[in-house]
């Protein structure tokens, strides 16, 4: 995977979103880079954030977390899709032992700078508890191909070593945020976190560092998957030529006569005559009087055999 960062495009984004500030403009720019690559945002999953200072409705500056809002597509996000939440109240929540999702959402909304903003991501607290300025989170297909294995964490440790931290699987929300922060605290030098059976986080002091760390970490997963890869399906050698229609239908033609489907001594039913005679036609139909109706059709070079078996209603024996 290659970095798509462009200094020219980054500065163009800063100019376009000047009124929102440089931090938010670059957050929009790299979020779109991530969101435009389907290998990173499986089924639209993922989120991003930046810690910055913005002016609230009273005209006062506040430390905030601008984090992807629910319902926004990372590939086309605008500044409005990064609702700003007061940072200090979010960080205080880490001292709690429990926090149900409904209360978490109310607390996040209560601390929005703009009350008309969309709901912040369910993973807002994880972004708040990690101290880095820029944080990126994706559901990279390559990373998931490693973590979703029965020995997924071991595979990831083989690939990344101490370069990232490893967070055991938990449902997104408060407990996952706390667990991720504890893993980070044990080694603040890590460049990201692997959330087992979930995805990957990367972080940095600026937008480019966080983004390019994501690209580098995902590339490592891709390289590992490319080594000693076993095919998912075993290929078969096709015949040199397809079988002629008559070759396929000839064995079927005598099935009703010789297969023992009927027993005239027991059932009083005469053996069915030959179901059809193979000719050069592309369709064969059994006479309506036969107990077994067979249609053989050549459809786009494929022989399709359709059998209808009659059942004697008197004794329920197959005829």
Residue 78's nearest CA partner among 13, 34, 15, 137 is 13
The model's pTM: 0.73
Enter the tokens of residue 38. 């389907």
- Residue where the block lists tokens 């913005």: 54
What pLDDT sits at residue 314?
54
CA angle, 293 then 297 then 300, to 5°: 160
Q: Beta strand 199-204 with 302-309: parallel, antiparallel or unpaired?
A: unpaired
What pLDDT sits at residue 303?
52
Task: Report CA torsion sign: 145, 147, 148, 152.
Answer: positive
**Does the pLDDT at position 115 exceed 70?**
yes
Question: SS3 helix, strand, coil % of the chain, rounded to 5?
Answer: 40, 20, 40
- pLDDT per residue as tens digits for the range 47-66: 999 999 999 999 999 999 99
Q: How does the average pLDDT of the chain come out, rounded?
A: 84
Q: Which class is domain 7-226?
A: alpha beta
The percent of residues above 70 in pLDDT, for the chain, comes to 74
- pLDDT per residue as tens digits for the range 64-90: 999 999 989 999 999 999 999 999 999
CA angle, 166 then 170 then 172, to 5°: 105
11: buried, middle or exposed (CB in 10 Å: 19+, 13-18, 0-12)?
Answer: middle
**Does the pLDDT at position 228 exceed 90?**
no
Mean pLDDT of the region 154-165: 97
**Does the pLDDT at position 209 exceed 70?**
yes
- Sorted by where each begins, the domain ranges of the chain are 7-226, 245-309
Q: Which residues of 245-274 are buried (b: 16+ CB within 10 A; e: fewer)?
A: beebbeebbebbeeeebbeeeeeebeebee
Residue 7, CB-side half-sphere exposure with 13 Å CA sphere? 0
Torsion of CA 148, 153, 159, 163, to 10 degrees: 120
């Amino acid at each position: 995977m290659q970095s798509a960062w462009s200094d020219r495009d980054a500065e163009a984004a800063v100019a376009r979103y000047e009124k929102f500030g440089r931090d938010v403009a670059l957050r929009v720019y790299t979020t779109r880079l991530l969101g435009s690559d389907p290998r990173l945002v499986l089924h639209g999953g993922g989120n991003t954030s930046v810690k910055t200072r913005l002016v609230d409705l009273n005209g006062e500056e506040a430390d905030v977390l601008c984090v992807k809002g629910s319902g926004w597509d990372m590939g086309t996000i605008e500044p409005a899709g990064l609702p700003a939440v007061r940072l200090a109240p979010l960080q205080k929540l880490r001292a709690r032992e429990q926090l149900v999702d409904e209360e978490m959402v109310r607390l996040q909304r209560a601390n929005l700078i703009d009350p008309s903003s969309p709901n912040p991501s369910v993973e807002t607290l994880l972004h708040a508890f990690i101290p880095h300025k820029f944080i990126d989170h994706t559901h990279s297909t390559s990373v998931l191909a490693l973590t979703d294995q029965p020995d997924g964490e071991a595979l990831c440790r083989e690939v990344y070593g101490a370069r990232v931290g490893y967070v055991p699987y938990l449902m997104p929300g408060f407990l996952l945020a706390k667990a991720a922060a504890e893993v980070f605290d044990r080694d603040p030098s890590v460049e990201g976190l692997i959330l087992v059976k979930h995805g990957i986080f990367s972080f940095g002091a600026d937008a480019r560092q966080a983004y390019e760390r994501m690209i580098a970490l995902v590339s490592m997963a891709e390289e590992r998957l490319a080594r000693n890869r076993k095919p998912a399906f075993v290929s078969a050698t096709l015949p040199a030529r397809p079988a002629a229609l008559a070759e396929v239908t000839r064995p079927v033609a005598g099935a009703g006569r010789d297969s023992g489907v009927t027993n005239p001594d027991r059932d009083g039913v005469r053996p069915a005559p030959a179901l059809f005679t193979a000719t050069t036609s592309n369709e064969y139909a059994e006479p309506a009087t036969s107990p077994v109706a067979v249609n053989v059709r050549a459809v786009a070079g494929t022989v399709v055999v359709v059998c209808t078996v009659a059942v004697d209603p008197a004794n329920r024996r197959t005829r």
